[in-house]
Structures are given as C-alpha cells and as structure tokens.
Structure 1
Amino acid sequence: MSTKTEISAALTNLQVQNSTKTFNLSKQFAKRLLRIGTLNILYRRLDIPEEEFTQANFAGTPYMLFKRKSTNTFIKYFHSVSMGIIDALEKDYLKELYLYILKKDTKELQEKYNFKVKYNKDNEKSTDKSSDVKVATIEFLKAIANLSPKKFSSNDTEISVEFLFNDDVPKDYQPPNFENAKNPLYFDAEVQRVINLCDINTGFHKIKCYGSGLVFNDSKPNSVVSSRTDLHMDSDDIETVENQTEKSNADLSEARTVDEDNISIISTDINLTCPCVWDLDDVYQTTKCPRCFGFVHLACHGYLSAEDVDQQTFLCFHCTHRIDDEDYENLKLLMKLRIILFGIYTKRQFPIELLELGSMEERKFILSRLEILKIVGNDSFSDINYENLKEAIAQTFNTQNSQFFQ
C-alpha cells in the first residue's frame, strides 16, 4: 500500500464506477471519500489561507485538496490523520471516525463530525448501482460546500480526531500517528440539531456522516445543506454510550447499531432522535423522517399508529421548527403529555414510571392538563376516566400548533 499515492490522489469517476465491483475496489473509494470529506470540512470550518488549497472537481462538483508541502498546523495535522484513516480502513478495522472542533483554551466542543463505516465482506457481488454511488457522492460534496459560511479562528481553535474500531480488532492495534487516549472527547451532552451529510452504499461499504454543534442549531429547517438535512439527535448519532472498547486517540464506547428500516421500529434498538429524549419501551413505535432520516416517536408527533402517518407529507418536529420558534417549548411539553396519554391508552393504567422521567416543570404541566381534562381521579391515578381519555386523545393528537395551550 502506498500511502503517499493515496494522500495525493483526488476522487475520480473511474474509482466511483469501480466501487460497486469488488470489496477491494470499494475500499479504495472509501479511503479516498473519508479523506476528502474530513479535508473539506476543515476547509469550510477553519480560516486557513486559501493559498494552502487547490481545487479539484468530481462530475462537475468542485471540492478542495490541501497542498502537500505546507507549514500550516492544521494541514500538517490532517496529513498525519490521513495516514491513520488509510491504515485503519485498509485493515477493515475502522468503525467510526470523530472529528472535533474545540476551543483551544477551554476545550469546549464547537462542532462534531461523525463518519460511520459498515463492511459487507461476504457480499460477492454488489446489487447497488454505481450511478447511485455517484449521485450520493455528489450530494455529499455539495452538503459540505453548503455548510454555514461561519469559520472558526485558527488561533483560537483546536482539532482532534478519534477512531472507534470494530470488535475483532487486535487489542494492541494503533494506526499511524494515533494512540489510545485515557480521556475520550466523545460528546454525550445535550441534544442538538444534527445534519446528515452523507449516506453512501457501494454494496461493500456503507458510509454515513453527521455533523452536530451550535452552528447547526441555528440552521433554518429548509436549509440546503443537503437533501437529508436538519436531524435532531439524542445519543447514537449523538449516541447512547454503553460498553467500553479500545479506541485510537480515545476510549470511545461501543455504539448501538442503526436500524435501516423505515417505520414501526422499536425505540430502544434504533438511532432514536425524538426531541422528547425519553427512553420509552416497545409500545412506542417510531417512524423515520424522510428529510433527515431521524427516528421519532409516533405518539410524540401526534399519531396513534404507523398507519396514521402519511409518509408523503410527514416531517419530524425538528425539520419543521426552529429553536427560536414561539411555540417550540410548548410543543415539546405537548409531546410529553401525549406520551402519558398514549401510555394510559395502550396499557390501561397510569404510567407513573414515565411521569418520573420528566422535569418538575414537565410533571406540573402534565398533571395540570390531566386535571383539566378530567382523566384521573382526584385521589388516585388508578381511577381513570376512559371516556374523557378518548376526548383528550382527539384534542392532543394530530395537533401541530399551540391552540391546545390557549
């Protein structure tokens, strides 16, 4: 393997066409795609001088390459990181790549980009079309090019890259220029809006990329960042962390696998992105937003079953609302009320355990609305008025505005 050739090479039409022919040809494409992806994110987000770049072109879509000989700190760092990307992909070890943009002095996370790689080594022949790979690749390049024009100051910014490996990776493996970190930077904080930048499948490699951070929270719902924009995520993309595993440059945790189906998926087994952020059981089915590919609870969005959802018109809450919308917080409270109502409706008893998930404000709101709706008795949650419950369901489900709060 010639890492020098890999580092200097641009993306070609031939490489994309060949990506669906064999696993090894797909691997060559994947290595180049991840390098170009990380490079162009750095170009869009940092104020690196323009003379440090050279423009390339894929199928009429421009993107940037770094010049090899440079004294720029970020460019030198990128070339070092590239060696690790190439080695980990070459060995089929890389599961996820995390690119962090941090404040230099406080280490505060400004943005995070997450590449996910899945392998299909047993696939002798791909059924995926190279034309689809080409379209998805163009979408990815355009999505990065359409990131917010806001750039971070190089003087005040630090970049960090971490790898998460597959389970069968040797314990002592370290890619070039990486080491096992004792203090992972893995970002598992508040729910934020996440942009889906990439979803490419050659039949041998499936590659996804997400971006998250405050700059995306300010994005308009219909921004042309990508045809798959504006995903509001909780923990897998931003992920729920479970079992510790060996990491390069950080001990990141093993992440849950994202289910690829479209609807009626159990919320505990998927990449849940619902803004309610409550861990609900199997009764609470989910649907996938056709714009952002985020999975959200049907009940939170006002549906009793998957059959009620019109997939031609449905968009999730965070593809239709900005954080500064007047009704934003009220509608999130309405989601919590719907959860409780749906729990009573399906289980025929009051879900105390769910009410306890709420904040003091949420509990107060829910209990006050239940009292107004006369669903439970004054003295006991076991005394449920199911006739009033039906009326409450009719009022609160399929309600997409704030009329319920007036």
Structure 2
Amino acid sequence: MATAQLLHIGQKPKTLKETSLFPNRVATEQQSMVLVKRLLAVSISCITYLRGLFPESSYGTCYLDDMCLKILREDKSCQGSLQIVKCRIQGCFDALEKNYLHMAVLTIYTNPKEPEHMTEFYRFKFKYSRNGPQMDFDSGDTQGNFTNGGNSEEIKQASILLIRKLYVLMQNLGPLPNDITLTMKLFYYNDVTPNDYQPPGFKEGNISDCLLFDGEPVNLKVGSVSTGFHIMKVRVTTDSKRMGLLESNLVEENGSTEISHQGLDCDEEEEEGSTKKLRLDSAFSQEEASGPGKKRKVSMPVNSILAAQHL
C-alpha cells in the first residue's frame, strides 16, 4: 500500500519568509477571485501531496501560520503533476474568471479502462453573486447563501481553517490502493455558459452514465468560505474503510455505491433523510438547466486520463 506524505506543523524556520498566499484585503471582486483561485490551488495541492500522488519534486514549500504547505509546481520530470498545474487548474481558473464554473470534481479510480468505478473523489462547488463570485468555507452558512462575507481578517482566518481541516482529513484517511489514476470533470451553469465553451485543456464530456463507487462511500464535509463575491464548498467522498478515527461530525451520510453525475452536485439539504443515494435527477432544477430535457454541460480533460505516480 502507498504511504501518504505528512504535513509538518511547527515553528517555521526564521530564515524563510512566509509566503503571502491570500490577499490582505478582500473588498473587491478581483481580490475575491484571487483568494478563490489560491484556495482551490492550495486545496488540490494538499490532496495530491498528502494522498501521495506525485513525487516531492513536484511541490514547492511555503508557510501559512504554523503550517508548512506543499504547493504543486511545474515539474517537467513528472507529466502527471505538470498536467494538473498547466491544464486542470488553469482550466478551472478560466471558467471561474468567466463565472461559468459550477463544480470541479477530482476523481481517483483504479482501473484506467473503467473510469466510472471511483475509489475516492473531491467536489469543489462555486456560487457567484450579482456583483461577482463567492466562496463558502465553513462560515456557518450551511445553505450556501450569499452573505456579506465578513471583514478581510475573518475571511482570511476562515480560509486558513479550511486548509487546516483539509490537511487533517487527508492525514487521517487510510491509504489509497496502488496504481491509481486521477482525472477531473468540470460542470457549468448552463444559463450563462456558451454551448461551445471549453476551458484550455478540456473537451466536451458526457454526463449520461452513472458512476459506481468501489466500496462503501462516506461523504465528508470539509467546509466553505464566503467573501461576499464568491462561495466555494469542499466535500470529500471516500471508502468507509479509510475513515479510521476521524471525527463523526465530518460525516454527512453514507452513500450509495451507484452515483449519478448530478448526484455529485447534491447540497446538504438534498442529502438528508432516509435515502442514501446521491440523486442526479433532483440535483438540477429546470431553471438551472435552462429548460426541461437540457443536459448539464460538462467538460473532461483533452489528454488521456492522468496516471498518478502513487508513492
């Protein structure tokens, strides 16, 4: 089994300067967009590093409070991490800047010939206000509604809390299988996204097929952050066997082993109740889909599925 790399928490060396990951002020749409993009990049870096997907050479180091963060960088010696940085993350940034992106789903599976059989996946969901996008990281707004976002310091602290929670979660999950594969799909707001739009590195995808989960899926809520311009939520779904001693308050509900694409988009209120299936048919309203019978627009990577170098 693979061994995940560890997060180091402690006194940062005095010889190293603390990198300013987040803007000091979040008072404009542009400043909020900078925060959203950096949070997304740091989150993906956290997941890939602590799940042991790429070699150490694929990461740079920076410090945030007492956390030593590993951030993905362009590593020409590792094509997998290079694709994530140059194609996947940059594609997300393009869709975010245009206010098109509704959700990015980072998926891990074991058989390259059966990408619909997932073993773990991560959802990053975005909402935009009329004045710009918003992002929700454990602000207490469980319905995902827009708020004033608090002051800049509160937003920064909420962002740090989200990263800390994600790191703790990744460190405490059991190891992934060997020889895993990584891919990403992007979902859009149909009412504003042109039919022919595809971000760099992506092509038109298919959402007609159901997804199958290898094992017993457990849905974990990491959190959300609101800036007054953007909301971004983070959710993780993994096999119950990897849970170990994780706190039960992270668990939303055990899921079905059969998950439709729209089911990936369910909010907390849609996941409550007796049903354990993440439902695709109710996740999008007709208003969101711009009329009955219109499929949710989705993109998938242009290149062949990324084979992660699991360590």
Tell me the TM-score normalized by structure 2: 0.66
Which residue number in structure 2 is paired with residue 69 of structure 1?
Answer: 75
User: What is the deviation of 1:182?
Assistant: 3.2
User: 1:314-358: per-residue Cα shift (whole Å, max 9, x none)?
Assistant: xxxxxxxxxxxxxxxxxxxxxxxxxxxxxxxxxxxxxxxxxxxxx
Contact kept in structure 2, 1:233 and 1:274, CA below 8 Å: no
Task: Say if 1:216 and 1:84 are closer, same or farther in 2 by CA, change over 3 A.
Answer: farther
Of residues 199, 204, 219 in structure 2, which corresponds to 1:180?
A: 204
Of residues 31, 35, 38 in structure 2, which corresponds to 1:29?
A: 35
Instruction: Report 1:254-273 matches (<5 A).
Output: 258=267, 270-273=269-272
- Asked whether 1:158 is paired with 2:181, we answer yes
Task: Say if 1:255 and 1:52 are closer, same or farther in 2 by CA, change over 3 A.
Answer: closer
Which residue number in structure 2 is paired with residue 145 of structure 1?
Answer: 167
For 1:193 and 1:30, locate their aligned partners in 2 and report how far apart those are by CA, in whole Å.
Answer: 26
Amino acid in structure 2 at the alignment position of 1:163: L
For 2:235 and 2:258, locate their aligned partners in 1 and report how far apart those are by CA, in whole Å.
Answer: 12
Task: Say if 1:150 and 1:186 are closer, same or farther in 2 by CA, change over 3 A.
Answer: same
For 1:13 and 1:46, locate their aligned partners in 2 and report how far apart those are by CA, in whole Å.
Answer: 23
Which residue number in structure 1 is paired with residue 124 of structure 2?
Answer: 115
Of residues 242, 247, 253 in structure 2, which corresponds to 1:222?
A: 247
For 2:37 and 2:209, locate their aligned partners in 1 and report how far apart those are by CA, in whole Å.
Answer: 24
Of residues 237, 252, 268 in structure 2, which corresponds to 1:231?
A: 252
Which residue number in structure 1 is paired with residue 194 of structure 2?
Answer: 170
Higher relative helix content: 1
Amino acid in structure 2 at the alignment position of 1:213: T
Which residue number in structure 2 is paired with residue 12 of structure 1?
Answer: 20
For 2:208 and 2:242, locate their aligned partners in 1 and report how far apart those are by CA, in whole Å.
Answer: 24
- Asked whether 1:56 is paired with 2:62, we answer yes
Which residue number in structure 1 is paired with residue 281 of structure 2?
Answer: none
For 1:218 and 1:140, locate their aligned partners in 2 and report how far apart those are by CA, in whole Å.
Answer: 19
User: What is the deviation of 1:192?
Assistant: 2.7
Which residue number in structure 2 is paired with residue 100 of structure 1?
Answer: 107
Structure of higher CA gyration radius: 1
Task: Say if 1:63 and 1:185 are closer, same or farther in 2 by CA, change over 3 A.
Answer: farther
User: What is the deviation of 1:278?
Assistant: 8.5
Task: Say if 1:219 and 1:62 are closer, same or farther in 2 by CA, change over 3 A.
Answer: same
User: Which range moved further: 195-204 or 50-59?
Assistant: 50-59
- Asked whether 1:45 is paired with 2:79, we answer no
User: Which range moved further: 208-217 or 189-198?
Assistant: 189-198
User: 1:228-262: per-residue Cα shift (whole Å, max 9, x none)?
Assistant: 51221558xx9986xxxxxxxxxx54977747xxx
Contact kept in structure 1, 2:22 and 2:34, CA below 8 Å: no
Contact kept in structure 2, 1:84 and 1:178, CA below 8 Å: yes
Contact kept in structure 2, 1:192 and 1:213, CA below 8 Å: yes
Tell me the TM-score normalized by structure 1: 0.52
Contact kept in structure 2, 1:199 and 1:206, CA below 8 Å: yes
User: What is the deviation of 1:78?
Assistant: 0.8
User: What is the deviation of 1:176?
Assistant: 0.3
- Asked whether 1:203 is paired with 2:228, we answer yes
User: What is the deviation of 1:29?
Assistant: 1.0
- Asked whether 1:133 is paired with 2:158, we answer no
For 1:165 and 1:28, locate their aligned partners in 2 and report how far apart those are by CA, in whole Å.
Answer: 20
User: What is the deviation of 1:74?
Assistant: 2.1
User: What is the deviation of 1:133?
Assistant: 1.8
User: Which range moved further: 58-67 or 193-202?
Assistant: 58-67
SS of 2:250 mapped into structure 1: coil
Task: Say if 1:177 and 1:87 are closer, same or farther in 2 by CA, change over 3 A.
Answer: same
Root-mean-square deviation (CA), in Å?
3.4
Task: Say if 1:71 and 1:169 are closer, same or farther in 2 by CA, change over 3 A.
Answer: same
Contact kept in structure 1, 2:110 and 2:177, CA below 8 Å: no
For 1:129 and 1:239, locate their aligned partners in 2 and report how far apart those are by CA, in whole Å.
Answer: 42
Contact kept in structure 2, 1:116 and 1:207, CA below 8 Å: yes
Task: Say if 1:68 and 1:193 are closer, same or farther in 2 by CA, change over 3 A.
Answer: same
For 1:196 and 1:59, locate their aligned partners in 2 and report how far apart those are by CA, in whole Å.
Answer: 23
User: 1:237-294: per-residue Cα shift (whole Å, max 9, x none)?
Assistant: x9986xxxxxxxxxx54977747xxxxxxxxxx3223455389xxxxxxxxxxxxxxx
Task: Say if 1:216 and 1:70 are closer, same or farther in 2 by CA, change over 3 A.
Answer: farther
Task: Say if 1:187 and 1:211 are closer, same or farther in 2 by CA, change over 3 A.
Answer: farther
User: What is the deviation of 1:65?
Assistant: 1.1
For 1:46 and 1:104, locate their aligned partners in 2 and report how far apart those are by CA, in whole Å.
Answer: 18
For 1:91 and 1:123, locate their aligned partners in 2 and report how far apart those are by CA, in whole Å.
Answer: 10
Of residues 237, 250, 258 in structure 2, which corresponds to 1:212?
A: 237
User: What is the deviation of 1:14?
Assistant: 5.3
Contact kept in structure 2, 1:97 and 1:116, CA below 8 Å: yes
Contact kept in structure 1, 2:58 and 2:75, CA below 8 Å: no
User: 1:144-166: per-residue Cα shift (whole Å, max 9, x none)?
Assistant: 22213544466x11111000101
Contact kept in structure 2, 1:103 and 1:110, CA below 8 Å: yes
